[in-house]
Structure 1
Amino acid sequence: MAPDLIVIPARYASTRLPGKPLRKIAGRTMLERVLANGNLAARVAGDCELVVATDDERIADHARALGARVALTDPALDSGSARTHAAALQQDHLPGRVICLQGDAPFISGEIVAGLLTRLREGTAQVATPVYQLDWDRLDRLREHKRTAPFSGTTCLRDGEGKALWFSKAILPALRDEQKLRAQPLSPVWQHLGLYAYTMAALDWFVGAAKGTYETLESLEQLRFMESGWTIATVPVPMPAHALSGIDTPEDLALAEQAIARLGDPFPA
Structure 2
Amino acid sequence: MVIPARAASTRLPRKPLRLIAGQSLLHRTIDLARRSVTGDPRIVVATDDAGIADHAARAGIEAVMTDPTITSGSGRTLAAALGLGAAEDSIVVNLQGDAPFQPVGALPAVIAALRDGSADVATPVVRLSWAALDALRLHKQAAPFSGTTCVRDGAGRALWFSKAILPAMRGEDGLRAASPMSPVLRHVGLYGYRLPALEQFEAAAPTELEQLEGLEQLRLLDLHLTIDAVEVEPARFDISGIDTEADITRAEDLIALHGDPFGT
Range class of TM-score, shorter chain:
over 0.9
**How many Å apart are 1:147 and its aligned residue?**
2.2
The 5-angstrom pairing of residues 18-97 of structure 1 reads 18-41=13-36, 43-44=37-38, 46=39, 48-94=41-87, 96-97=90-91
Q: Does 1:137 align with 2:120?
A: no
Q: Does 1:192 align with 2:187?
A: yes
Q: Is residue 48–residue 66 contact of structure 2 (8 Å, CA) maintained in 1?
A: yes
Quote the Cα distance in structure 2 between the aligned partners of 1:157 and 1:222. Answer: 13
Q: Is residue 106–residue 245 contact of structure 1 (8 Å, CA) maintained in 2?
A: no
Which deviates more from structure 2 when the two are superposed, residues 87-96 or residues 53-62? 87-96
> Structure 1, residues 132-166: CA drift from partner, whole Å, max 9, x if none?
11111111222222222222221111111111111
> Structure 1, residues 48-87: CA drift from partner, whole Å, max 9, x if none?
4111000000010111121111110111112100000000
Which deviates more from structure 2 when the two are superposed, residues 146-155 or residues 128-137? 146-155
Q: Does 1:223 align with 2:218?
A: yes
**How many Å apart are 1:109 and its aligned residue?**
4.1
**How many Å apart are 1:93 and its aligned residue?**
4.1
Q: Is residue 40–residue 111 contact of structure 1 (8 Å, CA) maintained in 2?
A: no
Please give the root-mean-square deviation of Cα atoms over the aligned residues, in Å: 1.6
Cα distance change on mapping 1:110 and 1:142 into 2, 3 Å: closer
Q: Is residue 109–residue 232 contact of structure 2 (8 Å, CA) maintained in 1?
A: no
Quote the Cα distance in structure 1 between the aligned partners of 2:258 and 2:49. Answer: 33
**How many Å apart are 1:40 and its aligned residue?**
3.0
Q: Is residue 63–residue 70 contact of structure 1 (8 Å, CA) maintained in 2?
A: yes
Quote the Cα distance in structure 1 between the aligned partners of 2:230 and 2:238. Answer: 18
Q: Does 1:9 align with 2:4?
A: yes
TM-score, with normalisation over the residues of structure 1? 0.92
SS in 2 for 1:258: helix
**How many Å apart are 1:111 and its aligned residue?**
2.9
Q: Is residue 63–residue 69 contact of structure 1 (8 Å, CA) maintained in 2?
A: yes
Quote the Cα distance in structure 1 between the aligned partners of 2:175 and 2:105. Answer: 31
- Residue 262 of structure 2, aligned match among 248, 257, 267: 267
Which deviates more from structure 2 when the two are superposed, residues 67-76 or residues 176-185? 176-185
Which deviates more from structure 2 when the two are superposed, residues 233-242 or residues 122-131? 233-242
The 5-angstrom pairing of residues 204-219 of structure 1 reads 204-219=199-214
TM-score, with normalisation over the residues of structure 2? 0.94
Count of residue pairs brought into register by the alignment: 262
SS in 2 for 1:49: coil
- Residue 239 of structure 2, aligned match among 227, 244, 247: 244
SS in 2 for 1:161: coil
Quote the Cα distance in structure 2 between the aligned partners of 1:125 and 1:111. Answer: 19
Quote the Cα distance in structure 1 between the aligned partners of 2:132 and 2:18. Answer: 27
- Residue 162 of structure 1, aligned match among 152, 156, 159: 156
**How many Å apart are 1:220 and its aligned residue?**
0.7
Which amino acid in 2 is paired with 1:159? D
Q: Is residue 151–residue 160 contact of structure 2 (8 Å, CA) maintained in 1?
A: yes
Cα distance change on mapping 1:92 and 1:73 into 2, 3 Å: same
SS in 1 for 2:140: helix
Q: Does 1:127 align with 2:121?
A: yes
Which amino acid in 2 is paired with 1:88? A
Which amino acid in 1 is paired with 2:84? Q
